[in-house]
Structures are given as structure tokens and as C-alpha cells.
Amino acid sequence: MDRGIHPHYRIFYSLSMAFCTKSAVRSIEVLNDVFEHFANADTPDTEKDIDVQSMLDELQNVVVQGAAVARYFWPIRDSQQIHVNRAEALRKEFGITDDNPLRVCKPLRDAMEHFDERLDKYLARGVVGHIFPHYFGYDGKRNGVPLHFFRAYFIDSGVFEMLGERFEIEPLANELIRLNGLLSEKS
């Protein structure tokens, strides 16, 4: 028996994580369809053809599901030994190291989980410039006037921005796809 997980119980962890990875992969597929639309478009204003809010919701789902899966591999600080043992066993089983995108996404996960508090602090500083409640498209030139994005995704760089913090999404998406494949084999 592995330290942390009895072999007969592994399926429960696999099924629990698969729920999250499947949801993330569905969102990734929707996003990929939109990216193909951008790549094959004849006009430069293709971002007007999409529902920006829905696309940002799909991106947020990828992050939220990634955060949910990450908890299986890295329990919160001050965890009981049983959780630490489980996480170590799962990291070993799935070939996950400390530089894995799921772990590196913690600041993005924190940004989403504490969005209300960050928004309070962000707005308390005084927002001056161009304000975008939501944006999905190309990362335009910033000509000296501050741009403020509450939720944005830049398709040319693969960067998700929230309240001035920028995060790469592609490494996280690729890892969720990889794990989904492994989990599909196990369940």
C-alpha cells in the first residue's frame, strides 16, 4: 500500500479529479474554436463576433478547475499528515513536480478566490485612464494612457489579466489536458 492512499481507494481520487479536468477540457475546446475563428478570419475586428463575457467565463472555468485539481497535489499549508501523504502519492503517480503549471497558478487562483478584496484595494487607489470591465482580443498598444482590465484575455499572447495582474493560460491548459487523458485511462 502506498503511503497516503489505499490502492482500492485510488479510483475515488481519479474520479474526483476527472470531474474537474473534463470541465476544464470542455472550456478549452470552446476557446480553441474561438481561436480558430480568429486565425481564419478575413477581418481584423473578429472579436466583435463573439460573446466576450462567455469567453472569459470559459477561461475562468479553466483556472477554477485547475485550482481544484491543484489542491489534490498540494494541500493547504498546515495540513494534517494524511493530506500530505495523499498529495505526495498523487504527485508521484501522475509525474507532477513542483514546477508544474498547476502549482505555479496559485497566484491566479488567489486572485480569483479573493477578487472582491482585490477589487476593493484596486479601486481605492483611484482608477484613471481607460477602463475595460471585460475584454477578449488582441493586446493593443498602450500609448501612455493607463488601461485597466477587470477581466481580459489577450489572444495574441495567451495572457489572462485581472486587476493589473497578468498570467499565462496555455501551460495550465496543456497540463489539464494531459491529466484528463491520464485520468480517463484510470476511470
Domain presence at residue 2: no
| Parent domain of 71 | 7-186
Q: How far apart are CA 106 and CA 171, in angstroms?
A: 13
Residue 47 is predicted with a pLDDT of: 62
Q: How far apart are CA 149 and CA 162, in angstroms?
A: 6
Q: Give how many domains the chain has, as a whole number.
A: 1
User: Does 116 or 109 have the greater pLDDT score?
Assistant: 116
Q: Are the C-beta atoms of 86 and 16 separated by less than 8 Å?
A: no
Domain presence at residue 69: yes
Residue 76 is predicted with a pLDDT of: 77
Question: How many whole angstroms from its chain centre is CA 144?
Answer: 30
Domain presence at residue 77: yes
Residue 46 is predicted with a pLDDT of: 59
Give me the mean pLDDT over the 54-65 stretch: 92
Domain presence at residue 33: yes
Domain presence at residue 89: yes
Whole-prediction pTM value? 0.85
Give me the mean pLDDT over the 79-92 stretch: 92
Residue 115 is predicted with a pLDDT of: 82
Residue 101 is predicted with a pLDDT of: 94
Residue 1 is predicted with a pLDDT of: 43
User: Does 126 or 38 have the greater pLDDT score?
Assistant: 126
Asked whether the predicted pLDDT for residue 54 surpasses 90, the reply is yes
Domain presence at residue 1: no
3-state secondary structure the chain: CECCECHHHHHHHHHHHHHHHHHHHHHHHHHHHHHHHHHHCCCCCHHHHCCHHHHHHHHHHHHHHHHHHHHHHCCCCCCCHHHHHHHHHHHHHHCCCCCCHHHHCHHHHHHHHCHHHHHHHHHHCCCCCEEECCEEECCCCCCCCCEEECCEEECCCCEEEECCEEEECHHHHHHHHHHHHHHHHHC
Give me the mean pLDDT over the 109-124 stretch: 84
Domain presence at residue 122: yes
Domain presence at residue 14: yes
